[in-house]
Chain A
Amino acid sequence: MLDVHASSVVRAVVQGIWLGWKVESNWTNPFVFLTYLIAKPIASVILVGLVFVIGSSASGMSRDDLFFYTFTGAVFFIYPATITISLAYLVHEDRAKYEVLKHIYITPSSLKPYIVGRGVASAINASVSVVVSMLIGSIVFSNYFALHLPIDASKIDYPALIASIPLGVAAFISLGVILYAINLVTFKLQYSLSEYTTGILFLFSGVVFPPSMLPYPVSLIGGVLPTTHFLNVVRASLMGYNAYESMAYLLLSTILMIAVALIFMNRVESIARFKGTIDRKAEY
């Protein structure tokens, strides 16, 4: 009985990934899609790098360690940004635009595995963007601005780096589920909600500057965000430093985020059914 349930959940997740891949990629030909997948994140990473170049040339202070901090922050921030934005838009897309949410909802599999599948599809797209941005960004800044990433391939803590990705992705999908749940019982919030979330994560998680620079007690916000711990683990493992303390925080924040997302989603699902918002269409 449990096996049947587990296999149906896995099937729903896989279908979610497949559908997510189709919806996100089949609006154009593969070449344009690849350009879209690469150009946007590369532009944001180069933008952060250029702020670094211009800021440091104005002050006369150029440090490779600071460049490493901002560059890796901008590159790996692609994960939370892509996943949370795509899951925050999902309700609007499925409910109002394509009007398929009610059909998904009445299938035997729960809505949650489907959302997770869509989140995983976004994470796969984000992984491509991260790898390409890391490569192209480091080549551009090394060749044109003499800024080198102090990464030694032989010193990278590969197990920690590899483990941080699924942990981070799980935390960001859970955050996306929370945004999904809010959108399920509200209307017209999907754009602002996702932008607020990415904006808050970008400012408070130590993406382009250490959170300790923020005034107290605002500087403490970063400590409860999984993005902060995810970036700490990624940076430490790339430099070959001990990443296990940050990894423990990342694990803890991911477990907490999953628990909150599950409780919140279950609660909101029943409110949505009660209020009839699952198939209510808002046109604007």
Chain B
Amino acid sequence: MSTNHHISKYDDLILNLKVVYARAYVRLKGLLREPHWSIAEVIIPLLSLSAYVYMYTMLDAPAEYTAFVVVGGAMLAFWSNVLWGMSAQLYWEKETGMLQHYMLSPASRMAVLLGMAVGGALNTTLRSISILLVGTLLFPIEYNLVDANALLIVFLLTIIALYGMGMLFASLFLLYGREATHIADLLQEPIYLFSGIYYPVLSSQVFSYAVKLVASIIPLTFGIDAIRLLLIMGKGIGDVTLHIVGLSLLVAILLPLAYIALRRMEETSKRHGRLTLRWQ
């Protein structure tokens, strides 16, 4: 007796949407399950960004630099989430023995990653807003927002591009063993350096075009620069056209690349017997 196990495209879509929801749900539930982590992720960036605010004060830099630091510190939460909550996530799933269950399920691996990204982005947006609010209360900051729609467009594009990068890294991290945490760690400070968390990069005279070009590969660079221009400097959409084009290009490149990388890395990991390998 044979049974037809063919799944229609519609059923497949519903299944994957459920997977996206389920994986995102874990991220949001985590906010309540470990509230001290959420509190720490607001307070810890505020400690270091406060040090840079005082450093600018010591140097007698113009007042908008304080706002630059607070906005950069708020956006930093996304990079931390992309790095530790996306890139290194599949490695951790492997360490805790969960990865094989994802691989055995009929769901698309991209749906799992998308769920992680959606949940992580929502969760981190709350933290990022909290950092911005507390930073604004602590330091004298003046915002000058004239084009809210442009800010929303830039923010969404930045998040999509960033999490696209996270999805790409997650698949690359599938191959890693113990080195995963070190590589993620290594991607922290150099990215802070190039993306301009605490200073403007693209609109600064200090950096050469070559440095700006390299920095533009990181979605955070375009995103933070555009958000600062719109939120602090009172610019409009016409002033951030280049940023929008750059971010759109990154989205168009990173998402398909993540899909291809995930398939390749999964295949390679299976061939090398690395999918369930722990402690190596």
Contact = CB atoms under 8 A, between A and B. Distances in A.
A47 B51 CA distance: 13
Interface string B153-192: 0000000000000000000000001110010011011101
B102 interface: no
Interface residues of B, number: 42
A195 B45 CA distance: 9
B52 interface: yes
Interface in B41-57: 41, 43-44, 47-48, 50-52, 54-57
A283 B68 CA distance: 39
Interface residues of A, number: 46
Main SS of the interface on chain A? helix
B36 interface: yes
Given A43-B189, A202-B51, A50 B60 contact: no
A162 interface: no
A196 B51 contact: no
A43 B199 CA distance: 14
A66 B47 CA distance: 21
A40 to B, nearest CB: 5
Nearest to B84: A191
A32 to B, nearest CB: 8
Interface string A39-51: 1110110111011
A195 to B, nearest CB: 5
Contact of B59 (A52, A97, A189, A200): A52
A59 B190 CA distance: 26
B206 interface: yes
A54 B57 CA distance: 12
Contact of A36 (B47, B48, B186): B186
Interface stretch (A102-110, A204-212, A256-264): A204-212
A264 to B, nearest CB: 21
A39 B34 CA distance: 32
Interface in A48-73: 48, 50-59, 61, 66, 70
A213 B279 contact: no
A40 B185 contact: yes
A226 to B, nearest CB: 18
Given A27-B179, A28-B179, A54 B52 contact: no
Given A58-B62, A58-B65, 6 more contacts: A27-B177, A47-B192, A52-B55, A57-B205, A188-B37, A210-B58
